[in-house]
Amino acid sequence: MATSPYMIDVTGDSFDHAVLARSREVPVLVDFWAAWCAPCRSLMPILAKLAEEYQGRFFLAKVNSDEQQGLAARFGVRSLPTVKLFKQGAEVAQFVGAQPERMIRELLDAHIDRPSDALLRAALDQEATGDRDGALARLKGAHETDPKNDRLTAHLGRLLCEQGRVTDSEAILKGLSPRALGDAEIGAI
């Protein structure tokens, strides 16, 4: 496989820097694999393709579990392939076994910042300073450009509801993805 600026082989010695420290800047997807594992061999091309396609919006770290048994034990790997996603120095998601590309995309997209996330943060800052109407206007504009951003949709629905616009809130919240309904942050909203 060709080398990529978005992938690296990781060892026990390099894990903390290559995964945990780096995950404070960009999510890191860690693939625990072994050469003898057929599902691992079918999964790796999908992960490599996504790493290239996402162009640095996440980083792919590969751990050969046969050679790095201590690292696999440290993270409770019992079956291969096991893939864990780290963000801000902590594990935030995982899956075991070869998965379809669509499912992996959904997992990544749930944890990778989107351009509309900056607008969401600005709107929440605006709300925190007391400008709820300005925050609502900013959220509406952001929602028009990215209606699939579930966190943005949830906050827009919340603000509409808090302003007594329950029907509008319900209409917006119907746009949440099924995955969003199981998300703790969105559930709290």
| CA nearest neighbour of 4 among 42, 52, 45 | 52
37 is catalytic: yes
170 CA to centre of own chain = 26
| CA nearest neighbour of 182 among 110, 124, 116, 118 | 110
Please state, in angstroms and as integers, the Cα–Cα distance from residue 37 to each residue in 10, 41, 43, following that order. Answer: 18, 7, 10
- Active-site residue identified among 28, 40, 119, 180: 40
- Active-site residue identified among 28, 30, 37, 43: 37
- Give residue for tokens 């925050």: 135
40 is catalytic: yes
Q: Which residues are catalytic?
A: 37, 40
